[in-house]
Structure 1
Amino acid sequence: MRWHLPILTLAATAVLLTVPAPSRARSFALYAQAYLDSNRTAAARVTAEVPFKSLVFFKKEGWYDARYQVFLTIAPADGGEEYTAVLQGHAVARSYEETDKIDLRAKSSRTFAMKPGKYQVSAALRIQHTDLVIRRSVELTVPDFLATGLGFGSPVVLMLPPGSEATFARLSEFKAAGAGGDTEAETTDLAEDQDASLALFQRRPAVRFQLYLDDRDAAPLGCDLFYEVTDPNKQQVLYGKHPVRLTGRDDSFILSFNVDDWDPGAYKINLRAIGEDGIRDASASVVLNVDVTRAMLGRNFDETLEILSLIADKEELRGLREAAPDQRVAAWSAFWKARDPDPSSLRNEALDEHLRRVRYVMRNFSTVQPGWRTDRGRVYIRHGAPDRIERATDSRYQGEYEIWRYLSTGRVYVFYDMFGLGDYRLVQGDMF
């Protein structure tokens, strides 16, 4: 239901839209993650993520090009020797419109061997052909991973192909059985004859991880591996334990999950290993994003149809809406095949983009209701990321305006948050 503001507020909105667009706001994100590498050495990966909107592009033959540098300094909190590096960044846009996109980003990263301790990571972004310098800093803690003689390598999320029924095994056993697919990649490639929309239901998400003893020649160690999965609301949905025996040489494992009954969202997987000696203890965690599950076509079927109605009309949804429960997966496949922009490719780009948008609004716009039910979420799923976002404060009521502009179509949407709680309501602009 459209939310109506007092006449005075609507008048203020109309005036606001006549103000020229502000100069481009520039920023970037800085991330630092500590982990234990395959040589049993503590390491940190520092990543700079720069939105295309923050860069300066130059027109080339058929594309637009931008370059930048990120000067990194990692300073120990105790005043020891600093780590420094320069990241060379490069971004390519296929059109002028892409150069101003908020959700397109260039990434540059560097890995450092680190000593345990606390650090301050500072970065200065310099955009080529300009005098612009943008600074960011984050704190980094590098734990002593092997303090107890036992440590985890950095867990990696991957997808196992259909037919991978084992829930836990050594990585070597998965490969020997031919069930692991390309376990060196974060996701497995699709077979040429495989339907991309069906594969999302058939593949099993899994976590690949390593356990390290502090000495390759140490005596074998028995330990219990505990795992816990928590949902986006931090409620435990799964818990278990597997006994393992570590040799100090080939201790890589695969832990997979059946997510058919899970709701889409970001789940956290917590791992902990406790040695039989009661002294060695290690833990690690990783986030698993679940986009498609059979629950979407089961108990959450009405919600799935509601989300799809943002991008499709009633006639397009008829086949899926009227399908019997045991035919919904096939109807889902038919729906997305009809929208596939390039049937010759192994991916269904329309489905990938739709799932990305739903994931984005769930992460960024959820309040007391899921992100896809909010006004901003509905517009985002329908039209994608805006080309420009402007913000202003209502001087009379102290509410916050957010104006989304889609330059290629001329669409403008105005949202208003009256109480400053992030509950932005659409006050100007038609959804469809």
Structure 2
Amino acid sequence: MKIQKFKNKTVSALLLVVSLTTVLSINLFAQDANRSSFELHPSEQPEDVPYFGVDFVNVAAEEQKLSRLIFKLSFANDELQFIRAKKKTFRADYEASVIILDTSKTEIDRIKKTGFIIAQNFDETKSLHIKNSTELRIALEPAVYNFRIELKDKETQRSGIREGAVTLRDFSKNEFMISDVFAVDSVSATTNESAGDKSIKPQTELYAYFEVYNVPESDSIDIVYHLLAAGDKVVQQGEQRVKSDGRVTRHYIRLEKFALVSTEHRIKLVIKCKDKSLEVEQELDLSDSDAGPIYANLDEAIEQLVYVAKDDELKKMKSLEGEQKGEAFEEFWKSRDPDPETSMNEYREEYYYRIKFANKRFVAESNKQGWKTEMGMVYIKLGPPDYVATSYNQYRTRYQDMSFRPKAAIVWTYYALRREVIFRYQISEYRIANYPEIFDILNGEMLF
């Protein structure tokens, strides 16, 4: 993906808009009281409302006494209801809004915007891979705020809601400062406030982005960075020198894909200008990124092959150590690459994408990982269903007295297979109720 650099060095002429195709969760070290913080409260919502992720960016605002807050909402196509539009395309309309409240829950401000998505065919309307994002931006005085974000499907009028709290930093001091570091797969600057709504397919580039404040224009800024994985292993490091743009200098560091060996990394930065120096150490959570690693670690990735690998293949890989284990893992997927001429192994990407999705959506009440649940297993093997329904009728043979209403059964329909998978809630999770009828497809090849 092409990165647009900032060409205009007159900072007052720039209205910062950091366009985040994928903004990743930022976990900040609690001992650093000068850093911004962001917290999402736990949320239990019906399955038929739009599910969306929320992240935030806090940087300096154009008006020096204010702090700019950018909420980024991300959601897949299948979260919205599409209707047929012109030229055989499909369209979904949505409304995104946020209410800002102070600590006493008094409303301070609210923002609302509408948007739409165009799908080129029916399959795209149900896609989990085509991600959409929209941004809600506001400039506030540095303080602690509560927020309530809503994403409404205009066709169904159903809304998903997320709530939380955020602490904004004070960038008004004329001091040598650095912003939070956050990971993005697209960075741009624009004076167009309408920019920011995107519909994208997974990217493969990832960058660490940050801003340095109040360095005299044209002075040199020296940057030393280390990217660390688990166990403080340095997986990428380097030194860079850039020219200051004055009040705000925006910079990014490309994260090499080979270095992204897990979903959790820390980045250490040392920023120097003449006799001044700043040090930052911050966690980067890449688990929600389509550009980040597709599995958390090699041992877990091998364990997750249970749905596609033979018993002897799994046993052999688990018995190996070090580089031999990694080579065996790569060889396993190389032999299943549907198109060796491309740089991406589409089969592997799809498999671990489904596992990532299952871990988000199908976690059992017992905290069993989503990919280990029966609903997760079906999703990984067969992919997303064409139609989902809930029904109490599936229980009538067992519960004749319907004054007692257990959780509804969930029915997944796969049109191409002409099959239904029925799930009933039993012992903290939904379990397959008609296994004999679908035994053959669950024990066959993964549908891809």
Which range, TM-score by smaller chain? 0.5 to 0.7
Q: Secondary structure at the match of 1:357?
A: helix
Taking a change above 3 Å as real, the CA distance of residues 32 and 117 of structure 1, as seen in their structure-2 partners, is farther
Tell me how far 1:388 sits from its aligned partner: 1.3
Match of 1:34 among 43, 47, 57: 57
Q: 2:433 aligned with 1:427, yes or no?
A: yes
d(CA) in 2 for partners of 1:50 and 1:207? 21
Match of 1:107 among 133, 139, 148: 133
Give 1:388's aligned residue: 388
Tell me how far 1:124 sits from its aligned partner: 5.5
Q: 2:55 aligned with 1:58, yes or no?
A: no
Letter in 2 for 1:359: K
Tell me how far 1:80 sits from its aligned partner: 7.8
Q: 2:418 aligned with 1:410, yes or no?
A: yes
Counterparts of 1:150-189 in structure 2, within 5 Å, are: 150-156=177-183, 187-188=204-205
Match of 1:86 among 113, 123, 126: 113
Q: 2:373 aligned with 1:374, yes or no?
A: yes
TM-score with structure 1 length normalisation? 0.58
Give 1:361's aligned residue: 358
Letter in 1 for 2:212: Y
d(CA) in 2 for partners of 1:100 and 1:82? 35
d(CA) in 2 for partners of 1:272 and 1:424? 46
Taking a change above 3 Å as real, the CA distance of residues 346 and 119 of structure 1, as seen in their structure-2 partners, is same
d(CA) in 2 for partners of 1:304 and 1:53? 25
Taking a change above 3 Å as real, the CA distance of residues 37 and 187 of structure 1, as seen in their structure-2 partners, is farther
- Structure 1 stretches of 5 or more lacking a match? 1-22, 160-184, 189-205, 231-235
Q: Secondary structure at the match of 1:212?
A: strand
Match of 2:143 among 117, 131, 139: 117
Task: Indicate if the aligned counterparts of 1:361 and 1:372 stay in contact, CA closer than 8 A.
Answer: yes
Taking a change above 3 Å as real, the CA distance of residues 390 and 271 of structure 1, as seen in their structure-2 partners, is farther
Give 1:287's aligned residue: 285
Letter in 2 for 1:357: R
Task: Give deviations 1:231-272, integer Å, cap 9, x for gaps.
Answer: xxxxx554799999998556846385796895xx53253657
Task: Give deviations 1:328-386, integer Å, cap 9, x for gaps.
Answer: 4773464233x23xx77664443332221122234444667654443222211111122
Aligned residues: 348
Q: Secondary structure at the match of 2:335?
A: helix
Tell me how far 1:413 sits from its aligned partner: 2.5
d(CA) in 2 for partners of 1:418 and 1:140? 35
Task: Indicate if the aligned counterparts of 2:94 and 2:152 stay in contact, CA closer than 8 A.
Answer: yes
Letter in 2 for 1:426: I
Q: Secondary structure at the match of 2:378?
A: helix
Identity of aligned residues (%): 12
Letter in 2 for 1:412: E
Task: Indicate if the aligned counterparts of 2:333 and 2:348 stay in contact, CA closer than 8 A.
Answer: no
d(CA) in 2 for partners of 1:428 and 1:334? 35
Taking a change above 3 Å as real, the CA distance of residues 63 and 406 of structure 1, as seen in their structure-2 partners, is farther
- Structure 2 stretches of 5 or more lacking a match? 1-45, 187-201, 287-291, 444-448
Taking a change above 3 Å as real, the CA distance of residues 326 and 269 of structure 1, as seen in their structure-2 partners, is closer
d(CA) in 1 for partners of 2:232 and 2:391? 39
d(CA) in 2 for partners of 1:71 and 1:258? 33
Taking a change above 3 Å as real, the CA distance of residues 54 and 380 of structure 1, as seen in their structure-2 partners, is closer
